[in-house]
Amino acid sequence: MAYAIARRPESVDLPGVRVLPLDVTDPDSVAAAARATGDVTLLINNAGVATGTDMVGGDLDLIRREMDTHFWGTLHMIRAFAPQLAGGAILNVPSALSWSAYPGAGGYAAAKAAEWNLTNAVRLELAARPTQVTGLLMGAVDTDMMASYDVPKNEPAVIVKAALDGLEAGEWEVLADETARAVKASLAGDPSGGQKT
């Protein structure tokens, strides 16, 4: 059985899919979704929010919302669904901003960095079950969340194919586009990019 879970289940129209309500920031909602399934073999954690909040001067409630969604929400989902997933897999979806930041996206970048390292920690903890844990990282994707940004965007189908290919190959991390590959490669360099003051 395939499940689609969303805060607004009425917005999901996928034939052959059972739609369930879910708010990843609400542990009771997550627990209810896990109880309503029982046969999940692949958990995809792709809930996201982008508030455009800076760390120093930004609204702390918005920064908490980013962390609640990307870090705590992902952790709630993993803890609730892990008993069903022995022999299965988890796909978490951080982003290339797990390794980078820019003005106006500090809260998002920090939350995604936390989700990326959460993915690495959970992979070690669930290896003996065994449950495969894969991280999917990419730059901008042409989704509703990115609609207002005038930047080059990946087609969702291309990212989905990369993710599924990576899962099938047993990869721990899928760098789905050139942006993710370039940003990860840059981590070995000077974080100032030569612009020290």
58-115 residue pLDDT tens: 999 999 999 999 999 999 999 999 999 999 999 999 999 899 888 888 999 999 999 9
Q: Has residue 115 been placed in a domain?
A: yes
Q: Is 127's pLDDT higher than 90?
A: yes
Q: What pTM was estimated for this model as a whole?
A: 0.89
pLDDT in tens, 2-33: 888 788 878 778 888 888 889 999 999 999 99
Q: Has residue 14 been placed in a domain?
A: no
Q: Has residue 127 been placed in a domain?
A: yes
Distance CA 85, CA 87 (A): 6
Q: Cβ(85)–Cβ(169) under 8 Å?
A: no
Catalytic residue (choose from 3, 112, 153, 196): 112
Q: 154 vs 73, which has greater pLDDT?
A: 73
Average pLDDT, the chain: 89
Distance CA 171, CA 166 (A): 5
Average pLDDT of the segment spanning 118-132: 96
CATH number of the domain that residue 81 is part of:
3.40.50.720
- Active site includes 108? yes
Q: Which of 185, 173, 181, 54 is nearest to 108 (CA)?
A: 54
Distance CA 52, CA 145 (A): 11
Q: Has residue 95 been placed in a domain?
A: yes
Catalytic residue (choose from 108, 153, 161, 184): 108
Domain of 145, in residue numbers: 39-188
Please give the pLDDT value at position 91.
97
Q: Has residue 83 been placed in a domain?
A: yes
- Active site includes 196? no
Q: Is 1's pLDDT higher than 60?
A: yes
Q: Has residue 79 been placed in a domain?
A: yes
Q: Which residues of 126-148 are buried (b: 16+ CB within 10 A; e: fewer)?
A: beeeebbbbbbbbbbbbeeebee
Q: Has residue 34 been placed in a domain?
A: no
Domain count, the chain: 1
Q: Has residue 62 been placed in a domain?
A: yes
